[in-house]
Structure 1
């Protein structure tokens, strides 16, 4: 699925101007982005670079697959060759993660343990990005797209979900691909199978979610239009049920933190 009818140039200009205005109003110098080797971080960092403001790209490997590392380095080289305002740094968090893991109690449920440790990796990266942000007066730019952030909640709360701004969170995955192509991001990154890289193996987002982004995007649009499971059959029904379940169970990520309001007569 490709959104071929969108105005890529207008969208790019709109996001770039939005980023510039937000940074100016926040009285910060620019942006910091974690570069994973995936299309979302590649697009986000390119849009940030296009503002002309200082844009810091940070690699944060934790037992990372070599393919992820090489794609991240390829994209950073691409940006630095095009934009004088782009700089890069690296924080290898492997030993930090390993040390933290040894200090925490083990549990018998290995599936639950592995998921918890995967989320811990994302939270270590968030902490690291805010270290760079604080030192250089930058905003942490999020890399989540619309399906991840508002559809299935496929992100780590206070991990990759812990950001200052979300430039591409109103773009479907197909729109991310279309805009990335328009901006000349390398095909090696655009065509790479999406993965969060949090488990130290080659599992993809599709392996974890049970459906690919094109399928989930279609399900999200159907769900938002008011359709129900009764409108589908076969694979479409399976994906619609996957989407509906994830959308429901991950509402705690998508909604503001609940606040217990105290009745005025009690105060």
Structure 2
């Protein structure tokens, strides 16, 4: 199960006993292979550069760093898109990341846009106070703004969603997952965090969260209340190596019910990883 064609950049990595690419050799290989993947993506599309949504997370910071490694700071644009006052510290951190990388960046305040959408929906008697709907709308507004910048500047959008969030469905459909490439679509959260440390990204530049801190609500891993690395090891064995449930539980010394819960979670959110279904009508 591969999120994008980026598996060519992470294939045959030296891995630990449970399959995670967290060894020094693996991380060195990733640092060498991911920038050329981005460089080739830009060249194949005839694009002028890359745009990255910066949200203060480890994932977006690593993505922006690798984008600069790939094509140079002058060809990378960062977008910081807070919506509420509570996002101010996050936005400042994201801007610090952009400044440290030397990339052009802009802050887009989404609260007025969100208010306009909610006002329009309110006029048609829609549920404007639904927290889940609001958070999903913010994610899709960020996507729309990012693609507007990309379209008007001939850029490609780099999506920083890791494989953990991708499999668990803890990202908004047609929001955070909307991108021209999912750079970490084949890397688990534990692997991306290890890559950040390997690169030498200062911990005070990022927010240590299970997902983007701009998106409210408890993350899937937080709801499970187990170490993120345990989740990643289970997912790797179950979905990439197709190891039987009981074997995974025994091998990792975890409760079989945890393995079942992750299986169910991934099945329930499968629709987020698939193209919209069609009725199967024959085409000319």
2:149 to 121, 132, 136: 132
Is structure 2 residue 186 aligned with structure 1 residue 170? yes
The residue number in structure 2 matching 1:222 is: 237
CA distance, structure 2, for counterparts of residue 12 and residue 260 of structure 1: 43
CA distance, structure 2, for counterparts of residue 15 and residue 116 of structure 1: 34
Contact 1:2/1:177 (CA < 8 Å) preserved in 2? Answer: no
TM-score by length of 2: 0.80
**Aligned residues, how many?**
255
The residue number in structure 2 matching 1:83 is: none
Is structure 2 residue 91 aligned with structure 1 residue 69? yes
Aligned alpha-carbon RMSD (Å): 2.6
Q: Residues 198 and 78 from structure 1, CA distance in 2 versus in 1: closer, same or farther, beyond 3 angstroms?
A: closer
CA distance, structure 2, for counterparts of residue 217 and residue 48 of structure 1: 25
TM-score by length of 1: 0.85
Aligned partner of residue 156 in structure 2, secondary structure: strand
CA distance, structure 1, for counterparts of residue 224 and residue 236 of structure 2: 17
Quote how far apart the aligned CAs of 1:230 are: 8.2
Q: Residues 259 and 127 from structure 1, CA distance in 2 versus in 1: closer, same or farther, beyond 3 angstroms?
A: same
CA distance, structure 1, for counterparts of residue 220 and residue 98 of structure 2: 23
Contact 2:245/2:256 (CA < 8 Å) preserved in 1? Answer: no
Quote how far apart the aligned CAs of 1:65 are: 2.7
Query: Any gaps of 5 or more consecutive residues in structure 2?
Result: 1-19
CA distance, structure 1, for counterparts of residue 255 and residue 89 of structure 2: 32
CA distance, structure 1, for counterparts of residue 153 and residue 181 of structure 2: 16
In the TM superposition, what whole-angstrom CA distance separates every residue of 1:115-149 from its partner, at most 9, and x where no partner exists?
11111110000000001101111001101111112
1:117 to 117, 134, 137: 134
In the TM superposition, what whole-angstrom CA distance separates every residue of 1:181-212 from its partner, at most 9, and x where no partner exists?
122212124562333335557x4553356555
Quote how far apart the aligned CAs of 1:77 are: 2.1
Is structure 2 residue 87 aligned with structure 1 residue 58? no
Query: Any gaps of 5 or more consecutive residues in structure 1?
Result: 81-85
When structure 1 is superposed on structure 2, of 212-221 and 134-143 the one drifting more is 212-221
Quote how far apart the aligned CAs of 1:152 are: 1.0
2:33 to 14, 17, 37: 14
Aligned partner of residue 160 in structure 1, secondary structure: coil
Q: Residues 228 and 200 from structure 1, CA distance in 2 versus in 1: closer, same or farther, beyond 3 angstroms?
A: closer
